[in-house]
Amino acid sequence: MMSRKYVSLVVLMFLCFHASITEGQQAIYEDPNQPIERRIKDLLGKMNLEEKVGQMTQIERTNATADAMKSYFIGSVLSGGGSAPKVNATPKEWMDMVNGLQQAALSTRLGIPMIYGIDAVHGHNNVANATIFPHNVGLGVTRDPQLVMQIGGVTALEVRATGIHYAFAPCLAVCRDPRWGRCYESYSEDHTIVQQLTTLIDGLQGIPPGDMKGMPYVHGKTKVAGCSKHYVGDGGTVNGINENNTIVDDSTLYGIHMPAYVNSIAKSIATVMASYSSVNGVKMHANKQLLTDHLKGKLGFQGFVISDWQGIDRITSPPHSNYTYSIQASVTAGVDMIMVPYEYKEFINGLIDLVKKNVIPMSRIDDAVTRILRVKFATGLFEYPLGDYSLVNEVGSQTHRELARRAVRKSLVLLKNGKPGNPTLLPLPKITGKILVTGTHANNLGYQCGGWTIEWQGVSGNNWTAGTTILEAVKKTVDKKTKVVYKMNPSKDYPEKTNLDFAIVVVGEVPYAETRGDSTNLTIPDPGPHIIENICKNTKCVVVLISGRPVVIEPYLDKIDALVAAWLPGSEGQGVADVLFGDFGFTGKLARTWFKRVDQLPMNVGDPSYDPLFPFGFGLETQPTSQTTDTVKLEL
């Protein structure tokens, strides 16, 4: 019989031998041939509490130093609205920045890649010279799921061309009151249109192979993780006030505001963002019933829930007044990744302390990190963590701009064409004597693009990004013999002194985003109304409205020969001229009710006292005057 000492020696020799042959072998989580769930389990088992909490933390790029990434094991970085490496940064400079941060993340003990997020809500809108598509309020008019899917594909490619892996889109709000400053981020007041256009997810992430049962799916190095937002009911707040309370019964909540989320989960959306707003008085960032029980439980969502910008701070009033409670309430409710752009050290230390005190169970932390790792593995970050420099020339390519131009054509709504007893004005002739192009928005690319473009609240002027203004588009479209005169705000007697054939008046809202766009009067800012009055009373005119929602127009309607709702068309103003001058016909139909007076609001199709200026679904049509094909060939 062998002695106990001898047996122990044999065992020790075996362990040393086994260690020597396995040393340097690839860990299970590093093996792309292993199932994702096995890789997650392996990696999670190797992580300590500090590494897990780091994965749950998303910080703003201005705080994302290499030391911060490594010391705090940061799981995600974002660019807030307008946050760029520098003014007019090139795609390569964006990629250099993201890759540098990624290399810092990879240098940590376990080498877990970070995921970089950005608000690419109508194209890659933070990046100079990217393709800027119409905002969702215009895309809803198209009712074209295939077009929206193509837009998602182009957006994903341009985002990846800057090294970024994650887009905070689509917005699935069902805006029920245009006084809300984010209404232009909503496809429609009708949830069925919002549901149809969740195809943006197919473009962003790729079409999943069969029923993935809520599992995140991101196909290949030219796709990005998407984010359905803002869960849930953000478009139904009282009086359209941003971040306010949505007072609803179950039939409204689950019948109007929830359905598009069901569609997005069926499309394997990677992440869902909680809303700043409340539902029946309960802040969404602390709403366990809706975040955990319904979204993750009943709907089977397997990706991660992310907070909005400093969203957990707003759980208390005033914000950040009891941060320990905010951390506890949000994480316990089901928020997995916390967007703490600046106070990340306070958040990390606070969460670690709550776990060590057994206030938040380790099982909740493990669930959150499992979901975050699931998205990272699905996105391919462990295999391809660094951006591909061969893609940088895709940003703002001509093919992408042609798609945006087509989207503009399809999003225009013709609300009026002709006065009683007068012939229709549209389509306009290309060969004529003299045309006046006028208005605050005729030659302003920033106004044309609206909010969430280059800066959070948008910009004014033509020097911020590439594109074509409506004035430039008109000049390119008309015959060389036609004289185009531009005056932004002509004198009151200008038309009387000038032999004009007709005028194109382009006016509307100035850019805004979120709370700063909330409005109680929804009027066109001065001098827009005065320009309409001065020009349209003395000459034939078509008024092109640039706005993020219906605005007060009834007082001027009798003076206008033709009225076009162009919404916020983005960088490709040529699409407006294409339809005004008849190369393509008007086809768009309102996806929002156009009210007469603000005191009618909220008013939506199906309401008992429905008395609109232009009803939901309204839109006059014209026939093109030339043989044209409205398609763009894309390989996405």
- In this structure, what token pair is assigned to residue 443? 């030659």
Q: How do residues 34-63 score in pLDDT, each as one tens digit?
A: 999 999 999 999 999 999 999 999 999 999
pLDDT category at 3 given cuts 50, 70, 90 is low
* CA–CA gap between residue 514 and residue 519 (Å, rounded): 11
Q: pLDDT of 460-490, one tens digit each?
A: 999 999 999 999 999 999 999 999 999 999 9
Lookup: tokens for 578 = 């294409």
Closest to 418 measured CA to CA, from 550, 533, 551, 558 = 558
Taking only the tens place, the pLDDT of each residue in 247-281 is 999 999 999 999 999 999 999 999 999 999 999 99
**Cα-to-chain-centroid distance, residue 612:** 29
218 falls in which pLDDT band (50, 70, 90)?
very high
How does DSSP classify residue 430?
Answer: S
In terms of Cβ atoms closer than 10 Å to its own Cβ (0-12, 13-18, 19+), residue 310 is middle
* pLDDT surpassing 90 at residue 129: yes
Task: Just give the CATH number of 412-600.
Answer: 3.40.50.1700
For residue 18, what pLDDT is reported?
A: 41
Going from N- to C-terminal start, the domains of the chain cover 26-394, 412-600
DSSP state of 61: G
- According to CATH, what is the number of the domain 26-394? 3.20.20.300
Over residues 483-508, mean pLDDT:
90
In the structure, what pLDDT confidence band is assigned to residue 10 with cuts at 50, 70 and 90? very low
Higher pLDDT, 22 or 298: 298
Q: 522 — alpha (psi -120 to 50), left (phi > 0) or beta?
A: left
Domains 26-394 and 412-600 share a fold: no
Handedness of CA 473, 476, 477, 478 (dihedral sign): positive
Looking at the DSSP bridge assignments, the partners of residue 487 are 438
Q: At what angle do helices 323-333 and 362-378 cross, to 10 degrees?
A: 60
Helix residue ranges per DSSP H, 110-177: 136-142, 145-160
pLDDT bracket for residue 363 (50, 70, 90)? very high
| Catalytic residue numbers, as ranges | 308, 514
